[in-house]
Amino acid sequence: MGWKQWVHPYHLSWEPRSVIEKSIEDYDIQLYLEDDMAFTQKNLDYWFKHKDSLIAKGHNLGFLRVEFKNNERLITDLQAPLKSTKVLDNKCYLVNDQNPYCGFWIYDKKELKRFIKSKEWRFKFKEYFVREKSAIGWHGTNMGHYKSTLLPLEKSHKNLHTKEGAAIHHLPNNYIDHQVFCKVKFPIVVSNEQ
């Protein structure tokens, strides 16, 4: 019987990083996903469509965790609607200047190689709790790698709203009816008057 090293349960989510480092050349895309997140084809299509243009300009493509109550989708990690917008190449984006955490990260090989060389890859940053550090990726608060986290907006009627691919379902819905979280509806609607 071989010797087994025990890992503190809060550090289990850190373990995949050694596997990712060893397999960096084997995959074009790698994703860290919490086990209770429903990442769909719609999310992947959204990422493919927007990530290159934003990375080229130094920005991160944002996602929003959502939970369901009746027929509404509520955003888990925001306490108030996002309001600030930014225009890049004649496209309008909503700036997530509150909380870019979404329970996962996804990078292509080029961006992931850069991430692996960073101090954040080795969890050398203060924000976030032990388990959340794994899932924030390289776009966390005060990390400084990206200028901002942006969510593409699309027009409907007289307003702009966040795209469907930005919503990723947090399956347990355990923040519904929380006194702080799940107070903002998805999609976020922004007045086109701005």
pLDDT tens digit sequence for 67-89: 999 999 999 999 999 999 999 99
Q: What is the pLDDT of residue 4?
A: 59
pLDDT tens digit sequence for 139-180: 998 999 999 999 999 998 789 999 999 999 999 999 999 999
pLDDT tens digit sequence for 32-41: 999 999 999 9
How far is it, in rounded angstroms, from Cα 165 to Cα 63?
8
Average pLDDT of the chain is 93
CA distances (Å), origin 181, targets 8, 123, 149, 177: 28, 26, 20, 8
How far is it, in rounded angstroms, from Cα 47 to Cα 62?
9
Q: Which residues pair with 142 in a beta bridge?
A: none
- Residues with Cβ within 8 Å of 118's Cβ and at least 6 positions away in sequence, in order, are 138, 145
Q: How much is the pTM? A: 0.93
Binned at pLDDT 50, 70 and 90, residue 9 comes out as: confident
Which whole number is the average pLDDT over 103-128? 95
How far is it, in rounded angstroms, from Cα 82 to Cα 99?
10
Which whole number is the average pLDDT over 135-140? 95
